Amino acid sequence: MTDANIEAVHRKTRQRLLFTGIHLVLYFSFTLNWTSWGEGLGGYLGESRLTGSLLMFVVLVLTFIVLETIFLMLSRREAR
């Protein structure tokens, strides 16, 4: 075990926890829909029947996938 290896693992651990933290904040933000702070999400987007709540669901799913993609790309770059 070299110091460089250990430092690399610690850096990777921080990265893992950072991504997990961002993900959890976004994930639990969905609860806002059921609180008074999230009342605005119930409104319609323009003339459509699409509400902010429904849009939030789709955006969260897509954001999680984007987060994973970034994580994978960073891992791949580090591996090189």
Partner 1 sequence: MQRLIFQVTPGIALLLWSDFIVAAGAIEGASGRQAVNPIAIGMFLLFVAFTLYVTWWAAKSTKTSSTFYNAGGQITGAQNGLAIAGDFMSAASFLGITGLMYVGGFDGLILSLGAFGAWPVFMFLFAKRVRNLGNFTFIDVISQRLDRDPIRLVTAFSTILIVIMYLIAQMVGAGTLIQFLFGLPYEWALLLVSVLVLAYVAFGGMLATTWVQIIKAGLLLTGVTLIAALLLADSGFSFSNLLGKAAVNHPSGEGILRAGSIFDDPVQILTIQVSMLFGTVGLPHILMRLFTVPDMRQAKLSAYYASLFIGYFYIALLVLGFGSIAYVAGNPEFLNEQGKLIGGSNMAAIHVATAMGGDILTGFMSAVCFATILAVVAGLTLSGAAAISHDVYAEVLKKGKPDPKTELRLTRISVLLIGFAAVSLGIAFQHENIAFIATIPMVVSASVTFPILFLSLFWKDFTTRGAMYGAGVGLISSIVLIVLGPQVWVSLLGNAEALFPYDYPALFTMPASVSIMVWVSLRDRSDRGAVDRDNYLRLLVRSEFGPSEKEMAQS
Residues that bind partner 1 (CB under 8 A): 1, 5-6, 8-9, 12-13, 16-17, 19-20, 23-24, 27-28, 30-31, 33-35, 38, 41-42, 48-51, 53-54, 57-58, 60-62, 64-65, 67-69, 71-72, 75, 79
Instruction: Give the separation between CA 72 and CA 12, rounded to whole angstroms.
Output: 12
At which residue do the structure tokens 């994930």 appear? 27
CB of 77 to partner 1, least distance (A): 13
Q: Under 8 Å CB-to-CB from 38, ≥6 apart: which residues?
A: 31, 32, 53
Closest to partner 1 by CB, 49 vs 77, is 49
Residue nearer to partner 1 on the CB measure, 5 or 77? 5
Contact 7, 1 (CB under 8 A): no
Q: Under DSSP, is residue 51 helix (H, G, I), strand (E, B) or coil?
A: strand
Smallest distance, Å, CB 44 to partner 1? 8
